[in-house]
Amino acid sequence: MKKSTAPPRYKTAHIDSFNFSSAYIEELFRSDDFVIELVKGIGVFEPKRWLEVFKQKTTPNIVEAKIIHTIDGLVLPLKRQSRSPHKQTIEFAGIHNYNDSSKRYKALLRRLLNHIKDGKVTRIDIAIDFNKPISERVLRQLRKNRTPFVFRNSVYLKTDKEKKKNTYININLYPKHIKDDIAKEVYRLEFSFRGDYFKGNSDPKNLEVIILKMAKTIKKFTGLDIEIKPV
């Protein structure tokens, strides 16, 4: 009996978070379309403002914190950290959130990518959404090298040596609510690729190559053929 020569069926995945660092980030926002608000810097520290906007505290390693406001109502965190004081890191989160703001974040990121100078990718989160519970086959593959750890409504898959943070890849599963005419829910499998993963290939201009590498890594962990949609 001949083996099937049909191409594999790909599971679609999306970029949900995208962080990059550069010494020239603020140059990208020098127009009337943006306002940059200083929250932490020399002589300025407004931790309540950061908490109000981003629902998280500023950590001691953040030596400078700014909020970028866009003309259409988006807000983005811009940080300078003690370990790399000459570079700033900007964070795009919720790019695949099934709402209007996620579309605007994606459009802004797409607009900026071609103008990044001396940039370095520091984090990309890949979201794989299922309309029904994730199959046992995929879960069994994930558990081969990682142990599930339940916290609140999420399941984190940790290596035996891993502590709270993994600077290479974090994996977790959680329900994701979609609000439209009728409230719906999907089951999200998220791969969070961190700074160490991008060593040797961190230029945002090489995003197509990075995406192919991440898809191969996800297949290694899950057995799924993944097609990651570009921003």
- pLDDT per residue as tens digits for the range 14-40: 999 999 999 999 999 999 999 999 999
Can you say how many angstroms the Cα of residue 203 is from the centroid of all Cα atoms in its chain?
16
Q: What is the mean pLDDT of residues 97-110?
A: 92
pLDDT on residue 165 = 75
Residue 155's Cβ-count burial label (10 Å; 0-12, 13-18, 19+) is middle
* Rounded Cα–Cα distance for residues 88 and 21 (Å): 5
Domain locations along the chain: 7-17+123-231
| pLDDT above 50: residue 5 | yes
Residues above pLDDT 70, as percent of the chain: 94
Mean pLDDT, the chain, rounded, equals 92
pLDDT on residue 10 = 87
β-strands 34-41, 11-22: how paired? unpaired
Tens of pLDDT, residues 126-177? 999 999 999 999 999 999 989 999 988 999 999 888 876 789 999 999 999 8
| pLDDT above 90: residue 56 | yes
* Rounded Cα–Cα distance for residues 222 and 32 (Å): 45
* Rounded Cα–Cα distance for residues 28 and 38 (Å): 16
* Rounded Cα–Cα distance for residues 53 and 56 (Å): 8
